[in-house]
Amino acid sequence: MTDSADSPSFRLAYVPGVTPAKWARIWQERLPDVPLTLLQVTPAEASDVLRDGSADAAFVRLPVDRTVFSAIPLYTETTVVVVPKDHVITAAEEITLDDLADEVVLHPLDDVIGWERPPGEPAFERPATTADAVELVAANIGVLVVPQSLARLHHRRDLTYRTVVDAPRSAVALSWPEEATTDHVEDFIGIVRGRTVNSTRGRERQAPAGERESERRKPQPGGAQRKSAGGTGKASGAGARGRSGGAKGGGGAKGGARRGTGGGKPRRRS
């Protein structure tokens, strides 16, 4: 594992549609001495920047290669269809995939929904990017099905969107290389999971050896009773002192009477 001291900053990549501002703000509050560098990448580039070390962690869209990367799923997005504002689909607040059967549904090369074939009629060719597909929607060439965050990212005044209730949905996760879980990555995991600043900067805390030894030495509940039962309490100790003082005139009998539990006269020895 690479020590966080080897890296003067924490490099966080994120794909379009993800807004890392909230987590970046918490990072700056908790670790003001460690600069946070944000890198916007395409979905296809996300795994590359993690593999080559250009980023320490990334907000990505699932799935990821779990043999190489660790991932913490964060949320799943609503899927919407982007259409011109005067499109017939806008008459409803929600639609189904069947409502798109007669529509030309654009399928950009950077599609993040992950289906092999979108619903409806295929376009003559696939747009290179989601941004290109949005331009085609504005030109009334077709409609576009995307996660809601991408519809908002590419918002235009002449376009709107409606929820597609039965469409596949895209999940967003925090991911990092399995073999490169640095202290700074642990810090950021703590922030994303909502741990407080007292949670050892977001890392799982293991008590130092001195603290663990101190914990073992603490008296346990009921310890006094167990000592008495074992003959090491005050009553037994008094008897021992009395026996050792027998040469001075029977101190053991007096000690036993004073500290015994019977409260009466000492029994005569036979």
Closest among 41, 35, 25 to 4, alpha carbons compared: 35
Range of the domain at 117: 79-164
Q: Is the C-alpha dihedral spanning 248, 254, 256, 258 positive or negative? A: negative
Residues 83 and 71 in one domain: no
Q: In CATH, what number is assigned to the domain containing residue 89?
A: 3.40.190.10
Q: What is the domain count for the chain?
A: 2
Query: Maximum CA pair distance of the chain?
Result: 117
Distance CA 19, CA 15 (A): 9
Please check whether residues 86 and 145 belong to one and the same domain.
yes
Whether residues 64 and 93 fall in one domain: no
Same structural domain for residues 71 and 83?
Answer: no
Question: For each of the chain's 270 residues, which pLDDT tens digit applies?
Answer: 444 445 579 999 999 999 999 999 999 999 999 999 999 999 999 999 999 999 999 999 999 999 999 999 999 999 999 999 999 999 999 999 999 999 999 999 999 998 878 899 999 999 999 999 999 999 999 999 999 999 999 999 999 999 999 999 999 999 999 888 899 999 999 999 988 776 654 454 444 444 444 454 555 555 444 444 444 444 444 444 444 444 444 444 444 444 444 444 455 554
Do 158 and 116 reside in the same domain of the chain? yes
Report the C-alpha gap between 185 and 175 in whole angstroms: 10
